[in-house]
Structures are given as C-alpha cells and as structure tokens.
C-alpha cells in the first residue's frame, strides 16, 4: 500500500506545472521538493533578466526542467519568438495562438520548434474552426492547450471528455501533450475548486495541469489528496495518470535536446 501511495504521488507531481513570478533566485521549498519527486518544471511569469534568473534557478534544481513561458513581448514569427524565449531560458511557449490564415499556424509552430522551443497551441475548445489545430498537429506541435471556455456539454474545455478525448484525440488524431490553461482562475475555482478540476481534467484526457502563480503549497497538497481519493474510488484510473506522465516525459526530453540556435532579436534605431 505504501508503494502504491508513493507511486501515485510521483505520478501526480509529474503531471503538474506550477508557476513562479518575478525574480526568483531561490525557488519556494514546496516547489523544490516537487522537482525532486518528479515535477517536470514550472512556468515563469517574468521577462528579461528576471525571467533568466528564475529559469537559471529552475535548472540549477533540475537541469532538464521544462521551463514554460506565456510568450514573447514582441509580435513576430516563430523564429523571433524562439530567440526571445531562449534568451529568457524558456523551452515551452504556452501562448501560441491559432492563426486565422491557412498555413499560418503550421509555419509559426515549425519555425518555433526548429529552434528548440516547444509550442503549446491554444486555447482549444472543441468548437469553432478546428483547422489550425489540425494544421498544428500535422506540423508536429508538441502541446495543445485546453481552454476555459465552456463547450456544449456545459463545462470548460479542459474538463470536457467530449472536447479532449472525443474531438482532439479521436477526431483530430492528436497524440501529443494536452496542457490545461491555469486552473486557478475564478471560473474554475468558483465552479469546481482547483483540486476537483484537476481530477476532472485528468479524467477528460488532459496530461499536464498548469497552476498559476497564486497557487501555493496548500493547493498542491489538496490536488494530491483529491487525486488519491479519485483513484481509490475508481473515478481516475491509475493508467490514465501513467499515460499522462509518459507524454509529459517525452515533451520534457524533446525540450531538453540541443537544437539550432535562433538568431538574436535586434532592434534597429533610426538615426
């Protein structure tokens, strides 16, 4: 029984992506403990030197950490985005938006990922045009973000089996990582609470759950408790967490491999 509890705790940690904000030379103790137990990395909500200091702290604790980022400050193509994020120490772009024009999504995703930054394309809701997501999947997008918007079955897409397992997995044939938008938003907290939403998201087919900067050790521990209860009750199969953890592990390995460096972004000043 102890071995099963330890295995479950490690699986839960490996399917969570906490967040840190600002200049964090020293990461919170609870996050450091999570990194030791299997947490794959964190999302860094900062720019410039502050972002780099935080990602350096992450990699000091976990050299192959998945370092997520909301995205660059400057608009541009995939190569420009990669250059800015690589300079910040990030290897996962969590803010890749579907392009309205044909082939736009494919080009951006391909250019970004050529330079070693994984794209998380979204938000996916299972409604509206699915073309950009089919385009992204065909281009080998490493992750797709499940959004907060309600789908026809009345729940947010990230908690919807119909949207994630039905449409994204079966209809579009996507086999990569599905990452949630941050779960600690008012619409999620008010409706389900973060621990309850975490369990529903895993059941729906989401692999990696994002926690915003406001989530603390207490939220992290409550997710562990909720997951243990759901597994014990038979609502959340252990095999679903194992599948999710394996997908996240593949993403982390991909993101830690060296690739073609992106050209640095330069700004031309008018004389």
Q: DSSP character for 156? A: B
pLDDT of residue 50: 93
Q: Do 131 and 99 contact (CB within 8 A), yes or no?
A: no
pLDDT of residue 5: 82
CATH fourth-level superfamily of 2-256: Glycoside hydrolase, family 3, N-terminal domain (3.20.20.300)
Three-state DSSP class for 204? Answer: helix
How many angstroms separate the first and last alpha carbons of the chain?
A: 71
Q: What is the pTM of this model?
A: 0.93
Sort 75 into a burial class: Cβ within 10 Å, 0-12 / 13-18 / 19+. Answer: exposed
Sort 173 into a burial class: Cβ within 10 Å, 0-12 / 13-18 / 19+. Answer: exposed
Q: Where are the domains of the chain?
A: 2-256
Give me the residues of the chain with pLDDT under 50, please: 265-271
Torsion of CA 164, 131, 123, 106, to 10 degrees: 120
- State the average pLDDT for the chain: 92
Distance between CA atoms of residues 87 and 74, nearest Å: 13
pLDDT of residue 263: 55
pLDDT of residue 162: 94
List of residues 6+ apart from 243 with CB closer than 8 A: 207
Distance between CA atoms of residues 100 and 117, nearest Å: 22
pLDDT of residue 267: 38
pLDDT of residue 268: 39
């Amino acid at each position: 029984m102890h071995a099963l509890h330890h295995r479950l705790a490690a699986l839960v940690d490996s399917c969570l992506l906490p967040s840190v904000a600002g200049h964090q030379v020293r990461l919170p103790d609870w996050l450091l403990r999570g990194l030791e137990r299997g947490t794959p990395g964190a999302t860094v909500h900062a720019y410039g030197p502050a972002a780099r200091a935080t990602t350096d702290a992450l990699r000091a604790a976990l050299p192959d950490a998945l370092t997520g980022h909301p995205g660059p400050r400057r608009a541009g193509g995939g190569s420009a985005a990669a250059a800015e994020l690589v300079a910040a120490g990030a290897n996962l772009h969590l803010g890749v938006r579907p392009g309205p024009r044909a082939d736009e999504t494919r080009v951006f995703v391909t250019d970004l990922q050529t330079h070693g930054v994984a794209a998380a394309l979204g938000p996916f809701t299972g409604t509206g045009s699915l073309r950009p997501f089919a385009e992204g999947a065909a281009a080998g997008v490493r992750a797709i973000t499940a959004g907060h918007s309600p789908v026809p079955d009345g729940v947010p897409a990230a908690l919807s089996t119909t949207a994630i397992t039905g449409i994204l997995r079966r209809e579009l044939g996507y086999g990569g990582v599905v990452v949630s938008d941050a779960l600690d938003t008012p619409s999620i907290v008010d409706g389900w609470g973060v621990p309850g939403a975490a369990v529903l998201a895993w059941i729906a087919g989401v692999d990696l759950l994002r926690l915003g900067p406001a989530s603390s050790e207490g939220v992290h521990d409550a997710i562990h408790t909720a997951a243990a209860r759901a597994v014990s009750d038979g609502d959340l199969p252990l095999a679903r967490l194992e599948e999710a953890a394996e997908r996240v592990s593949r993403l982390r390995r991909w993101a830690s491999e060296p690739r073609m460096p992106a050209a640095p972004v330069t700004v031309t000043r008018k004389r």
